[in-house]
């Protein structure tokens, strides 16, 4: 992760030295929807649902000119999904599991953006990728195991990450779009939507014939960035 950050910083500095653009930096935060995708291991009573989490970022953008920019930064993102299980017992459907899982990541994105605007209002679309590291995994909810009190469902439980079996590395591709309003030289307020498609499974390949488990996210964020230097 550190090497990726150094490499990225070097790349951005190199690009900026060749062009007469401007740097933007800011803060961004928003809501993240998580979509769980599992390849294999289907069973009748088991279902997965949308997860809800949030993200916070320090975005950095190099605007090469009026329509092309490169965006990066560092981001914390929560990727969440729901998991539930029902079964039939004496003619009734019983729900014995209802767990919300949240995986926590630090990420470095890199996207290339195309912008269109009239000076005050700017719209952009972008595409790129990200690399990240998973540092925490938590779950909350009912698992209905033996002698676990009902109150346990209200507590977040830490799921120990094992580097031998859990994939701590995350990487994927990004598609994004946004709309910003510039306050002359004071900065820009913007609203963005970003879809992240994970190319790395949650589990390492430590066994033959694994079931692939992935979390994709759709984020809606609000951010503010201000110019650091360079030409407008």
Partner 1 sequence: MMKKAAVLLMILLALVSCRPDGPAMPEESDITTWAGLFDAWWHEMNRSYVFWSLDYPGFEWDEVRKEMLPEMEKLGEIEPDYNDDNTRKALRYFYDIVKNLSDGHHKFNFSTDETEGNEIFFAPLAYRAYRDYIESTGRSFTGADDEAFFNASFDLEAEKNKRYPEDFKKYSEFMQENTSAILANSLGISLDDSGTSAIPTEDNRNPGNVKGFEMAGYVKVGEGESLFNSDVGGFTFFVGVTDHDILYLAFSNFEFSMFLEDMEEAEGITEDLDCVYSDDVYSLFGLYRKIIEDPVGNGIKGVVIDLRGNGGGMVADLPLLWSPFFPKDTPFAMIRTKKSDNRQSYTAWEDMVMPGNEDGTMPGIPIAILTNSHSVSCSEMSVMAFMALRDRYGADVALIGGRTAGGNGPLTTINGQYIAGTFNLPYITEVYTPFAQSVYIDGTSYEGIGIAPDEGYGIPYDHSAFTNDTDARLDKALGYIWSFN
- Pairing between strand 46-63 and 22-39? antiparallel
CB 25 within 8 A of CB 225: yes
Q: Other CB atoms closer than 10 Å to residue 103's CB: what's the count?
A: 24
The two structure tokens encoding residue 115: 């912008």
Stretch that binds partner 1, among 16-24, 42-50, 103-111, 219-227 (CB under 8 A): 42-50
- 173, 193, 218, 222: residue in contact with partner 1 (rule CB under 8 A): 173
Confirm or reject binding of residue 114 to partner 1 (CB under 8 A).
Answer: no
Shortest CB 160 distance to partner 1, Å: 8
Confirm or reject binding of residue 92 to partner 1 (CB under 8 A).
Answer: no
DSSP-H helix ranges across the chain:
2-18
Quote the CA–CA distance of 159 and 145 in Å, as a whole number: 16
Q: Which is nearer to partner 1, 15 or 211 (CB)?
A: 211
Q: Other CB atoms closer than 10 Å to residue 224's CB: what's the count?
A: 16
- 20, 92, 158, 229: residue in contact with partner 1 (rule CB under 8 A): 158
Stretch that binds partner 1, among 26-34, 61-69, 73-81, 92-100 (CB under 8 A): 92-100
DSSP 111-151: EEEEEEESSSEEEEEEEEEEEEEEEEEEEEEE---TT--GG
Residue 5, Cβ density class (10 Å: 0-12 exposed, 13-18 middle, ≥19 buried): middle
Confirm or reject binding of residue 197 to partner 1 (CB under 8 A).
Answer: yes
Quote the CA–CA distance of 188 and 112 in Å, as a whole number: 18
The two structure tokens encoding residue 6: 């150094």
Site for partner 1 in 120-149 (CB under 8 A): 127, 137-139, 143, 145-149
Confirm or reject binding of residue 161 to partner 1 (CB under 8 A).
Answer: no
Q: Which is nearer to partner 1, 49 or 96 (CB)?
A: 96
Shortest CB 134 distance to partner 1, Å: 14
Q: Which is nearer to partner 1, 27 or 97 (CB)?
A: 97
Site for partner 1 in 52-81 (CB under 8 A): none
Q: Which is nearer to partner 1, 185 or 208 (CB)?
A: 208
CB 217 within 8 A of CB 176: no
List the beta bridge partners of residue 182: 188
Q: Which is nearer to partner 1, 120 or 165 (CB)?
A: 165
Binding-residue total with partner 1 (CB under 8 A) = 50
Residues forming contacts to partner 1 in the complex (CB under 8 A) are 37-41, 43-46, 83, 85-89, 96-97, 99, 101, 127, 137-139, 143, 145-149, 152, 157-160, 162, 165, 173, 197, 199, 201, 203, 206-214
């Amino acid at each position: 992760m550190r090497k990726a950050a150094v490499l990225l910083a070097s790349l951005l500095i190199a690009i900026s030295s060749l062009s007469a653009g401007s740097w933007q930096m800011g803060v961004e935060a928003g809501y993240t929807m998580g979509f769980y995708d599992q390849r294999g291991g289907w069973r009748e009573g088991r279902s997965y649902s949308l997860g809800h989490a949030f993200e916070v970022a320090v975005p950095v953008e190099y605007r090469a000119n009026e329509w092309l920019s490169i965006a990066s930064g560092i981001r914390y993102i929560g990727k969440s999904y729901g998991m539930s299980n029902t079964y039939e017992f004496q003619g009734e459907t019983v729900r014995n599991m209802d767990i919300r899982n949240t995986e926590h990541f630090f990420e470095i994105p890199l996207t290339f953006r195309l912008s269109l605007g009239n000076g005050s209002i700017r719209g952009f679309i972008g595409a790129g990728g990200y690399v990240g590291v998973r540092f925490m995994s938590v779950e909350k909810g009912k698992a209905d195991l033996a002698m676990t009190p009902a109150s346990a469902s209200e507590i977040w439980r830490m799921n120990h990450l094992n580097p031998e079996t859990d994939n701590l590395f995350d990487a994927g591709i990004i598609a994004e779009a946004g709309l910003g309003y510039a306050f002359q030289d004071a900065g820009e307020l913007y609203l963005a939507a970003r879809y992240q498609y994970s190319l790395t499974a949650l589990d390492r390949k430590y066994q033959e014939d694994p079931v692939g488990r992935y979390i994709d996210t759709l984020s809606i964020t609000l951010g503010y960035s201000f110019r650091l230097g360079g030409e407008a």
